[in-house]
Structures are given as C-alpha cells and as structure tokens.
Structure 1
Amino acid sequence: MPMEKLPSIDPAGSRVSDMELLSNALAYAAVPDKYVFPPEKRPYAFLDDASSDVALPVIDLHRAALSDHRHQVAAEIIRAGKEFGFFQVVNHGVEEGVVRGFREAAAELFALPAEEKLPYCSDDQSRPFRLASSTSYDRSQTRYWRDYLKLSCHPVSDELVRHWPAKPATFRSSLAEYAAAVHDLAQTLLSLIAEGLGLPDGFFAGDLSGGDTQMNVNYYPPCPDPSVTLGLLPHCDRHLLTVLSQGDVAGLQAKHGGRWLLVRPVPGAFVINFGHQMEIVTNGVLASVEHRAVTNSAAARMSVATLVMPTMDCRIGPAPEMVSEASPTRFRSFVFSEFMEAYSATAASREDVLESFRLDRSPAATA
C-alpha cells in the first residue's frame, strides 16, 4: 500500500515540507526505493557487522535503596558503563502502569487517521512537539524506516502541555506522569554514577542535567525486507544520559568490540546509555557508544527515549577529579549550545563531532 503524502504545516500555517509518514499505511508489500540503502551501508553488509548475542548487564536498582548495597550498585553501573556504555535496570521505581499507560497513548497517536496527525507534522526542530519521519541528521537521500514524535517533556508546565496533542484523550496526562517518573529515575542514576566515580554528591545536579528534558518516541512499522534498510543511523547521543523504554520487540543494537550487539528486551527494564556530555565530563572514562535501530518483518516496534541534557549555557569540560598526570585533560571546555551546533554540522558522526572538542590531536589520535 503506498504511503500517503502529507503537507507539513508550521505554527504560522505555511507549508514547510511534503512529509510521508510510514504509520499512515496499513502494510507494505515491498520496501520503496527511497528506503533501500546501498549494499555497503546495509545492516548485515559485513561479517564483522553481524549481530552478537553478548548480553548487557542487568542491574537491580532496588538494592541501591539499601545503604549496605548502594556502593556495590554504583560500582556495577560504572563497570557496565566502562565495558559497554549501555546497561539495563530493573526494579527502578517507575510503575509498570505508568510505562504502559504512556506507551499505549503514544501507539494510539501513531494509529490516528492521517488527517488528525497532520497538525503535528513538521520539520521545524524548534517546535516543542512535532511528528516527523526518517531523521534530520543524515545527509544522504536514503530514508530511514522510522516515524517519530519529538517533544519537550520536563519540567511540565501549563504552557508546555498546551503544545501536546489533545488526542488521544489520555496522551497529555499519561505523558506528564511518565516524564516525571523517568526524571526521578534519571536523577537517581546520576547520583549513583557520581558516587561510583568518586565525584562530589550532586555533581550532575544543576545545569549539567537541568536543561529541558527531550523525548523521542520512535515507531518502526513491520518492514518487508529488513536486510536492505535501517530504522535509525549509527550515532551517539549528544546529551548526558538516555533512559529508554524498549518494549518487548528487539531492534536496538549497540557497538561492542567491533560488532553490533542486539539489546534483547528484559521485561520491565529500562535501557540506559551515556551521551557525549558524559564522556566529556568523565574525561573519557564513560564513553558514548554508537548505536542504531534495525527493523523486522513480523511486528511493529516502538521505543521511548528520554534524553537528559544540560542547559544551553552550561559550561562543560572534564571534571577536575577525572584529570591526573596519568589521565591528562582530553577535551577542551565549551558551552553546550556550541556542542549542539557541532553535532548538527557533523550529521551526528561520533568521531567528527568529538574531534571539534579534543585536545589531543596527534597523528596517532586522529588516524
């Protein structure tokens, strides 16, 4: 079934683009040409790109509430971060009903008739809520097999909620509840990370995590041929910390040891990964790891990524505690808004964006 082409409307009512939404079609008999990648960029192009079955660490956060186990949990997080850059958390305090409530509301929004989604469609990245397709970072003409909601979700205010859709009826209330709960979880994780690294209590509080929290709700419909397309390009997150609700359908892959590791869903878990800002403030101890999304032919997949970010005027650089004679300063300091501009200019390329902020630019480091 062909996709319906929608004219995207900006807040002033003018046309900004012609947008095709994958979620407007019931099914696909074949992958349209614009979603077919050249052979060398396909998800299983090379043997060393094949998906690995190494399992991510799963950390029980309930133990962190017990004083005699808290330091042990913090150490587990740092160990997982150093080895993988990713881990999963269970018994995290976010109620199952809160997660399910928002995921169901978001799924209903993607399922709305095309004309009801039209007012939310936009390529304008300044909007606090918008619906779009593919990605705005990749410069190629090939499109990614993905629709997404991109929105500001915390701190919640009447003005912010006004920008959220009124349909489905449960969307606004379930989003507000979910965003608050995940914000609390993120602050717990940041406190444990600081403890595990020997940083001062509250190190990540304030401007480092005080920016407007962003959310990407990603929808990947069943794909007729997952071998020729991708759901999302390989990238690292530009923020500080990502808290991901993956649901029960696999599709997230993280780079590990030169291979792509499939992050298998764990019931009730959140997937946690570090963004570029975490790598920089820890002077490279906790690296931001490349990840991507692959598609499947059997079931739709939806993920909800909550992105904790600094304020735009936050000055960022390696923490003094993370610098020593054995580990000299690896990155220059900068204002976060500068990093955001560099990230967009380099199309989310991990090495290209970090090169703009590295201090060690010897031939060995840049080869």
Structure 2
Amino acid sequence: MAIMDCISSAPIPSPSPPSKKDEDCSGPHHNHDQPLIFDAARLRYETNIPVQFIWPEEEKPSLKAEELLVPLIDLQCFLGESSDEAVRLAGEACRKHGFFQVINHGVDARLINEAHRCVDYFFTMPLTEKMRAQRKPGESCGYASSFTGRFSSKLPWKETLSFQYSPSPQDDLQFHNGRPVVEDYFINVLGDSFHPFGVVYQQYCDAMSSLSLRIMELLGLSLGVGRMHFRDFFQGNDSIMRLNYYPPCQKPDLTLGTGPHCDPTSLTILHQDSVGGLQVFVDDEWRSISPRTDAFVINIGDTFMALSNGRFKSCLHRAVVNNETPRKSLAFFLCPEMEKVVNPPSRLVDGQHPRKYPDFTWSALLDFTQKHYRADMKTLDAFSKWLLENQTSTTTTTPESATTATTTAIPISSSFCRGLQKTTGGNE
C-alpha cells in the first residue's frame, strides 16, 4: 500500500525530560486554581504524581495478575467444517466472562502495524498539536488527555483519540465533503498533512467492521438464533474507533491506565501491542490477558448483553501501566445504528428468562454515558433504571418500516429492580 510507505518514512519524535519551568501546570504541585493538564511528555518522568491520578487503596492495581486463559478461536475453522467447536468455545466464554481471542482473522498484518505506527506518531507530538483535536464536553470523539476536563479524581493515566465510523454501502457511498468519514475527520480536524492517517484508519475501520460481522455470525449461532440475526442487525452500524496511549508512570502501583468498567458498546475488537496491561475481573480476582500480535481480543459490551437478554456477559476490565515502556492499543467499538431499537430476539425470552432490560437506542445510552454517568460496572443497570424513571415511551424509527413507531417500556424482571445503586469510579 502506497499510503503505508508514506507514513513509514515519517520520523517519530522521542519525548525529552521536562525543564523546571515546564512543570508548573502538569506537575504534582501545580497551581490548583488552574485546570490540571495531563502532558504525558512531562508527567512520565514525575516521581510524585498528582493526587488526582492516585486511586483508592482498594482499587489500586495488582501489577502481576495471574494469566486468564481465554479461548483462542480460529476464524478460518469457523468458516469451514470445524465451526461447531468455535461456536461452543465462544458461547462458553461469553456466558462466563465475555472475553475470547480470534486468530486467522483475515486482517492484513501490515495494516495493523501501520495503525500502531500512527498511534506512536500522533501521541508523541507536542501537546499543543494534539489539542487541535480536543474532545468537546458532552461528545464521544476527539482527543482526550486523561479526561481532566470531565473528572477531578481517579483519573486514568492515558491519552486517547476517538472518532466515529459508519460503513459505506457499495450502492450509496456515505462520504463527507466527498471523502469517506474517517478520512474526512483527520483532514477536517488536523489538516491535509494528516490525510495519510485518515486513509490508514479508514481501511482499518473497514476491516474491523467486516470482522465484527463475522463474529456476530459466531455469536448468533452460540445463542441459537441463527448465523444471520445479529449480522443483519449490525450490517449498518454507527461505531467508534479509539486509539489508546498509556505513557510510563513512575508510580504504576498508585494509578490505573483505565479504571474498572464494562464497555457500554456492543462488541470491542482490541489489538494490543507487545507491552501488555489488560486485566479482567473473573472469579473475584483480577486476571491478565497477554498480548498476541496475531490475535484480536474480543469482548462483549453492555449493549450486546441487552441484545442477548443477559445470557452473554459484559465483564469488568481495566488497564494497568508500567514505569518503563509506553503501551498502546487499538479499540474498535461496534455499535448499532444510532436510532435502531435494542431488544433481544423472541427466542431468548421465555418464562425462565424474562426480559432483563427495557428497549432503548444506542444514541440514548451513549448520551447517558457522556452527560449523566461515568461508565463503570453498573452502567447498563443504572441506565435501565434511569430510562424507567424518566420516560414511559421512546419514539424511534425501526429498520423494518419508514414510519415512526412508539416503543413502550416493557416489564422488567423483579430481580433487576432490587438494590440498584449508582457506583462511581469507572472509566470510558
């Protein structure tokens, strides 16, 4: 790919230790009348990290967690005659903790490498350059330096760049300003010189969208609703791509790269670099999932847990940091179309499995996590309670009809309604 040659020729700057005058706004003793600035190029050298990044004793990381042996599913076999084993393994993992890995996924290794190289290049730019893409309050996309503008405590030790993605149907290309949506984002926000980045991530998102549909076939068979049910549901999607960068921290035992949370989205496709840091809470303890360069880590999100009527689990997970090496990851969050109604297929609802969650749209859940609630392990329960308390009906447009339909909140099992509490301290 010519675009890859273009990016590969660009040098990646190396951060330098800060001078004394640079520490005023980002060091541990900065003026608290000024907003905290997370400048990774400076804070990575601090031996006394700002108190906003120090997590409570009971939530501090265990840096040497035991390995969680998640199923390794060969997607080539799933498409062949050995599909039954893949379906069984995925179903068992998703009922227990919602995590598995896939290999032979068909995504070009060169594309993955270039996507990681672009992460390196972007996050090692000066903070002022990155701030050109600054995320605005109430929005889910843009550059965020530890979410210092949203939260004031238990801050994550990371930087992110998030942008929206929707697949372009072959017969009706969804272009922005004559360009695919991801390419347009990079040019519009960061300038023409970032067009190569836009091309790489447009291709990467296209690959992730295609891969997610194959995984939806696997999950549909695992749940007994057929290969095409969830594939068709997500054929059109309004998804989110996020680039994660975790700088070194001189006190990694005091902070977290990402706090404990369940993803509010439907499905996460994660590619880790070789550093490692992903941990999952299983059987009352934190376990690690080591990176494999040839594999993607897959996990169920809250929205798919609702689509499965609670049969598949959206599991608590977090990221830890280290004091030597930056860690980076590529996270593709598959989401339904914004106004598509999320409810389980009738085959997953019966006397033994009553409806656990009310009907909702992805746009409503996304708005809830951006404006009302810090995503954690109880996001879907808190959102469901909020829906039931604040509305009795939602007007949406269903995919089966061009007319507007009214979706009325359905009865929820009594076990769901007991003891709901909004917890705090999670992350995005």
- TM-score band, normalised by the shorter chain? 0.7 to 0.9
Match of 2:42 in 1: 25
Match of 2:93 in 1: 80
Structure 1 residue ranges without an equivalent (≥5): 7-16
Over 3 Å counting, the alpha-carbon distance change for 1:40 and 1:196 in structure 2 is: closer
Give, as a single letter, the amino acid of the residue that structure 2 aligns with 1:135.
Answer: F
Deviation beyond 6 Å, 4+ runs, structure 1: none
Displacement of 1:41 in angstroms is 3.0
In structure 2, what is the Cα distance between the partners aligned to 1:355 and 1:26?
A: 34
1:292 aligns with 2:304: no
Deviations 1:30-65 (A, max 9, x none): 123332223233224xxxx98332322211111112
Over 3 Å counting, the alpha-carbon distance change for 1:286 and 1:269 in structure 2 is: same
Greater RCO, CA 8 A, separation 6+: 1
Match of 1:306 in 2: 332
In structure 2, what is the Cα distance between the partners aligned to 1:123 and 1:24?
A: 22
**Contact 1:251–1:295 (CA<8 Å) still a contact in 2?**
yes
**Contact 1:346–1:353 (CA<8 Å) still a contact in 2?**
no
Displacement of 1:194 in angstroms is 0.7
Displacement of 1:363 in angstroms is 8.7
Match of 1:183 in 2: 209
Equivalent residues, number:
351
Match of 2:284 in 1: 258
1:90-129 correspondence runs (5 A): 90-126=103-139
**Contact 2:264–2:380 (CA<8 Å) still a contact in 1?**
no
Q: Secondary structure at the match of 2:243?
A: strand
Deviations 1:256-313 (A, max 9, x none): 0111111111231110001111111111111111111111112100011100101221
Deviates more, 1:150-159 or 1:188-197: 150-159
1:346 aligns with 2:363: no
Deviates more, 1:298-307 or 1:350-359: 350-359
In structure 2, what is the Cα distance between the partners aligned to 1:43 and 1:59?
A: 29
In structure 1, what is the Cα distance between the partners aligned to 2:252 and 2:258?
A: 12
Displacement of 1:169 in angstroms is 6.0
Displacement of 1:111 in angstroms is 1.3
In structure 2, what is the Cα distance between the partners aligned to 1:204 and 1:3?
A: 51
Match of 2:79 in 1: 65
1:267 aligns with 2:279: no
1:319 aligns with 2:332: no
Give, as a single letter, the amino acid of the residue that structure 1 aligns with 2:285.
Answer: R
Question: TM (normalized to structure 2)?
Answer: 0.75
**Contact 2:270–2:296 (CA<8 Å) still a contact in 1?**
yes
In structure 2, what is the Cα distance between the partners aligned to 1:127 and 1:159?
A: 19
Over 3 Å counting, the alpha-carbon distance change for 1:123 and 1:20 in structure 2 is: farther
Over 3 Å counting, the alpha-carbon distance change for 1:259 and 1:325 in structure 2 is: same
1:43 aligns with 2:54: no
Over 3 Å counting, the alpha-carbon distance change for 1:21 and 1:159 in structure 2 is: farther
Q: Secondary structure at the match of 1:189?
A: helix
1:153 aligns with 2:139: no
1:56 aligns with 2:70: yes
Give identity over the alignment, percent.
Answer: 26
**Contact 1:313–1:336 (CA<8 Å) still a contact in 2?**
yes
In structure 2, what is the Cα distance between the partners aligned to 1:136 and 1:32?
A: 12
Question: TM (normalized to structure 1)?
Answer: 0.86
Displacement of 1:78 in angstroms is 1.1
Over 3 Å counting, the alpha-carbon distance change for 1:211 and 1:26 in structure 2 is: same
Match of 1:331 in 2: 357
Over 3 Å counting, the alpha-carbon distance change for 1:357 and 1:222 in structure 2 is: same
Displacement of 1:185 in angstroms is 0.7
Match of 2:408 in 1: none
**Contact 1:71–1:195 (CA<8 Å) still a contact in 2?**
no
Over 3 Å counting, the alpha-carbon distance change for 1:239 and 1:209 in structure 2 is: farther
Match of 1:360 in 2: 413
In structure 1, what is the Cα distance between the partners aligned to 2:217 and 2:99?
A: 17
**Contact 1:279–1:288 (CA<8 Å) still a contact in 2?**
yes
Over 3 Å counting, the alpha-carbon distance change for 1:222 and 1:167 in structure 2 is: farther
1:131 aligns with 2:143: yes
Match of 1:10 in 2: none
Structure 2 residue ranges without an equivalent (≥5): 1-17, 27-33, 169-174, 386-411, 421-428
In structure 2, what is the Cα distance between the partners aligned to 1:244 and 1:112?
A: 24
Over 3 Å counting, the alpha-carbon distance change for 1:106 and 1:283 in structure 2 is: same
Give, as a single letter, the amino acid of the residue that structure 1 aligns with 2:222.
Answer: G
Q: Secondary structure at the match of 2:230?
A: coil
In structure 2, what is the Cα distance between the partners aligned to 1:246 and 1:202?
A: 29
Displacement of 1:159 in angstroms is 5.8
Q: Secondary structure at the match of 2:113?
A: helix
Deviations 1:213-233 (A, max 9, x none): 201111001110111011111
Displacement of 1:202 in angstroms is 2.2
Deviations 1:326-360 (A, max 9, x none): 22222222233232333342311332531442723
In structure 2, what is the Cα distance between the partners aligned to 1:246 and 1:4?
A: 33
